[in-house]
Amino acid sequence: MNAQGMDATYRRLTQHLPAPLRQYGGTLPHRLGLTRWKDGCWEDFWVLDINRDLPGYAAEDPDRPGHLLVPREVLAHYRAAHHCAAIHGLIADRLVDRQVAPDVGMLVYRGVFLRSWEHELAAALDNRRLARQALAKALVSLRRGTALELKTMALRRMDVATYAVQTREKLRWGGTAAVCLLRHAGQPERAALLERSYDRFCFALQCLDDALDCEEDERTRGTSIPAVLGLPEGALVRALPFLMESAITLAEQARLVRLSTWMRGFARLVGGIQPDGVPAHNEEAGRRLASAAEEVL
């Protein structure tokens, strides 16, 4: 197991919990529906490298290839904060979407990883006040995005700009640690570009997920995101190449070389997906979707 991976962070931060809670936590990814195996891991679901280690990509010094902007022990705290944010965010998302029942164990773990997120970020920044400010901003965004999503799904109609904004707000926690790293290193311009690049990348992933989850959403929610948007499923899939290209452009402007290289590889992978439907219609609708989203992201 990677000593700096998400599952290693999870084991380290839960090893001091009472035995019944540790036993419960051993099956938490499965309880959340993230893995089909009872003993499955967080990284069975959290598979993309930049999602696992965004702070590591942000920490590289563009002026000194092979060097880091922060000491390795500080980067370890940023990584752990990033993992805690992901675990907290996944639990919160499943609870809000009512995909899981809010039992006591799940609520306890949500609180544990919220506190651990703050602790690790404060250790990285060497400043608890700044860490709390960053967490407060991320949590306000999460609540705002969640409320907007519940409203639009209840109304069963939504425009692309709203879809993009609610996705950005729901997922902003994902970039918190990496953005803090760059800001604290005295590089606020690069931090802002990273945040926007990652927003677009996350929105591209959300489009793909929502296209693939149509049948399940119809069954559990009575509708799907493409239906609410009034677009074919294929439009969401074919928006990915356009969204990825703009995310890559922002990463290049930020001189995030390894990040932009990874994104180019991912873009080649997803760019070859051809969904059902009329290809020309999907392509044009996907282009329009990406263009409308980029105006607000």
How many distinct structural domains can be found in the chain? 2
Token pair, residue 39, equals 């003993």
Q: Are residues 4 and 135 in the same domain?
A: yes
User: Rounded to whole angstroms, what are the CA distances from 169 to 138, 163, 264, 279?
Assistant: 8, 10, 25, 31
pLDDT score at 102: 81
Q: Say if 85 falls within a structural domain.
A: yes
Closest C-alpha to 207, from 289, 144, 133: 289
Question: Helices 72-96 and 176-184 sit at what angle, rounded to 10 degrees?
Answer: 150
pLDDT score at 40: 93
Q: Of 102, 137, 156, which residue sits at a domain end?
A: 156
Q: Are residues 21 and 137 in the same domain?
A: yes
Q: Say if 179 falls within a structural domain.
A: no
Cα 127 from Cα 145, distance rounded (Å): 27
Residue with tokens 């919220």: 114
Q: Are residues 16 and 130 in the same domain?
A: yes
Q: Are residues 141 and 215 in the same domain?
A: no
pLDDT score at 103: 87
Q: Containing domain of residue 10, as a range?
A: 1-156
Q: Are residues 23 and 101 in the same domain?
A: yes
Q: Say if 178 falls within a structural domain.
A: no
Q: Is 231 left (phi over 0), alpha (psi -120 to 50) or beta?
A: beta
Q: Are residues 91 and 12 in the same domain?
A: yes
Q: Say if 176 falls within a structural domain.
A: no
pLDDT score at 223: 85
pLDDT 10s digits, 116-171: 999 999 999 999 999 999 999 999 999 999 999 889 888 999 999 999 999 999 99
Q: Say if 282 falls within a structural domain.
A: yes
Q: Say if 165 falls within a structural domain.
A: no
Q: Are residues 271 and 191 in the same domain?
A: yes
3-class state of residue 60 by DSSP: strand
Question: Helices 188-212 and 240-253 sit at what angle, rounded to 10 degrees?
Answer: 170
pLDDT score at 84: 98
Q: Say if 164 falls within a structural domain.
A: no
Q: What is the DSSP string of 144-210?
A: HHHHHHHHHHHHT---HHHHHHHHHHHHGGGGHHHHHHHHHTT-HHHHHHHHHHHHHHHHHHHHHHH
On average, the pLDDT of the chain sits at: 94
User: Rounded to whole angstroms, what are the CA distances from 42 to 34, 56, 141?
Assistant: 7, 18, 24
Residue with tokens 């991912």: 266
Q: Are residues 144 and 3 in the same domain?
A: yes
Q: Are residues 46 and 132 in the same domain?
A: yes
Cα 280 from Cα 168, distance rounded (Å): 28
Q: Of 109, 137, 156, which residue sits at a domain end?
A: 156
Q: Say if 46 falls within a structural domain.
A: yes
pLDDT score at 204: 97
Q: Of 138, 156, 174, which residue sits at a domain end?
A: 156
Q: Are residues 125 and 219 in the same domain?
A: no
Q: Are residues 20 and 134 in the same domain?
A: yes
Q: What is the CA radius of gyration of the chain?
A: 19
Q: Are residues 238 and 147 in the same domain?
A: no
Token pair, residue 138, equals 């991320």
- Spell out, as residue ranges, where the chain has pLDDT lower than 50: none
